[in-house]
Amino acid sequence: MKKKKDNWILIVFILTFVLSVVFSFVSNTMAAKFDNIILSIVLVLTISFGVLFDLIGTAAITANESSFHAINSKRIKGAKECIFIVKNNNKISSFCNDIVGDICGIISGSIGAILSISISTTFLINGTLVGVVIAALISSLTVGGKAILKKVAIKNADKIVLKVGKILSTFKFVK
- Angle (CA) 132-135-140 rounded to 5° is 120
Residue 131: how many other CB atoms lie within 10 Å: 17
Q: Could you tell me if residue 43 is inside a domain?
A: yes
Q: Could you tell me if residue 35 is inside a domain?
A: yes
Alpha-carbon gap, residue 174 to 95, rounded angstroms: 17
Alpha-carbon gap, residue 75 to 162, rounded angstroms: 13
Domain that holds residue 64: 2-169
Alpha-carbon gap, residue 114 to 32, rounded angstroms: 9
Distance of CA 116 to the CA centre of its chain: 23
Task: Specify the number of domains making up the chain.
Answer: 1
Q: Could you tell me if residue 175 is inside a domain?
A: no
Q: Could you tell me if residue 134 is inside a domain?
A: yes
Residue-wise pLDDT for 42-72, tens only, equals 899 999 999 999 999 999 999 988 888 888 8
Q: Could you tell me if residue 61 is inside a domain?
A: yes
Q: Could you tell me if residue 174 is inside a domain?
A: no
pTM equals: 0.81
Alpha-carbon gap, residue 142 to 101, rounded angstroms: 10
Q: Could you tell me if residue 115 is inside a domain?
A: yes
Residue-wise pLDDT for 94-131, tens only, equals 999 988 988 899 889 988 988 998 899 889 999 899 99
Alpha-carbon gap, residue 70 to 85, rounded angstroms: 15
Residue type, 84: F
